[in-house]
A and B are shown apart, each in its own frame.
Chain A
């Protein structure tokens, strides 16, 4: 492998990591605030992809812009889902059996509504950008991947800003750190959780819209990404937003370089292998490693 090959693999892994981070961060927010594993994430990502496709085909809106428009729509859907279903679950500090089964049922419903509405043929968003390339020296970078990467970075930066500089963001972080203490200091849990859930679903839809520009999709589209999102948030330590970025990078690097040794069909098996490895070697995720390093320093 030449240096150029190596560099282009690293670059493509980096570009992949951006979209992986967007797709996982919503799950982390929801898990952190409510301790609910959003198994329906895959379904919402699928909805986002189809939403972007419909906007693109019906109104000729640029697919990247369409992905951004997906966010408010999915945010509202997420708020409604929280109000109608999730709110009624028993509160807990640990993921409960009812919450897992409820979100799983919701995923089944979304996925099969997708089949009902859009059928099971593969769809894709195809623009002049799809096949064009940007040349940086000897390395060729796919334009659409670059654009998606930039869009992903913008979203993550916005999310960080919201979480760090607004009252809503402070209440979210307070709930993640210690639910009881947060409630005592006057955080309105139900409302914050509702908005956080909407935010998480909004990010799922956004990620789906962006992924729709990169891959073809059908109503079962989110599943492979759901497992990747799990691996990433476990790598990141489940509740840490910055952990997600590192987790996404690790998974993207592993996946990209594994193509050299393992057939591409086995990629999901690699994700699972990485998950098992992390659970054994580093159960607290990268966040615990960082905390340990900080304590030692």
Chain B
């Protein structure tokens, strides 16, 4: 009786801590531009939030449902172009972002509908195929300027903080979705599919619709991130937003942080977002080489990423004491 009440008290503290951590982080990040009002620092955090959003989105599909995608640049780029076209047509940014989400989700069906009906490597293969195909089409498309890119003209004063808070809000929404999903029926179904698709199907989870739904959700989040980026950058081109490296970045972040966890992709996104520009600036020739090596090393030696590694260290430390 006594022991059980002690356990519940400890559990309550742990619960309270895990519930408070996101709010504290959010408040800290919201206050940060006032503590360190440097435009460059704010811009770095702004892009980091977009990376975190894309990283969380990739993890919904890759980490929870176990479906590896190499083509998230498609959604990022589609979102960016949708927002750009609509804003130039005079639409307010917020409905433009929503339209980006819808476009990206619709594009996700082009791969999902044929590939998710089958088990095996088809989905991963198809994502590489569509990202190449879409970039080729966008490079040749006349009305978006083709390879020379597309410029966005916004007839309102530029306020960096507005961009900052929209990116922060987006990342917070993505995190909330991911955190609520793990314990919801939908998220549990996805994890069941990852562990054993036959068993999941026997228990009444339809793998096809579940995968389609989570793919569309991840695409929508990534699409909005692309839209927010396009509005800030005011210029986009197929080699950037649809670039191969964009897909590489988006899949690398959750792998670094820890696939299949709630905090892993956030951590990976922050680490990557903050060091990425440094790495590109110091090693312009070999940064993708570094990422590739990192990917190989993580998969072979610490598949749990930073979170997995920290957990191991923590357990070893506690065990020794």
Contacts and interface: CB of A to CB of B under 8 A. Distances in A.
Given A116-B286, A269-B137, A37 B121 contact: yes
Contact of B120 (A238, A275, A280): A238
A4 interface: no
B142 to A, nearest CB: 12
B124 A95 contact: yes
A112 B286 contact: yes
Interface in B81-122: 110-111, 113-115, 117-122
Given A112-B289, A113-B289, A98 B299 contact: yes
B128 A226 contact: yes
Contacts of B114: 275-277, 279-280
B146 to A, nearest CB: 10
A113 B114 CA distance: 35
A276 B136 contact: no
A108 B117 contact: no
A101 to B, nearest CB: 5
Q: Is the interface of B mostly helix, strand, loop or mixed?
A: helix
Contacts of A98: 299, 303
A109 B292 CA distance: 5
A107 B296 CA distance: 10
Interface residues of B, number: 45
Interface stretch (B21-29, B31-39, B62-70): B62-70
Given A112-B289, A276-B126, A279-B114, A266 B140 contact: yes
Contacts of B113: 280
Interface residues of A, number: 45
A104 B132 contact: no
Contact of A115 (B68, B129, B140, B285): B285
Contacts of A250: none
Nearest to B301: A88
Nearest to B137: A269
Interface in A104-129: 104-109, 111-113, 115-116
Interface stretch (A62-70, A166-174, A227-235): A227-235
Contact of A37 (B125, B248, B259, B288): B125
B124 A102 contact: no
Interface of B: 62, 66, 68, 70, 110-111, 113-115, 117-122, 124-126, 128-130, 132-133, 136-137, 139-140, 244, 248, 251, 255, 259, 285-286, 288-289, 291-296, 299-300, 303
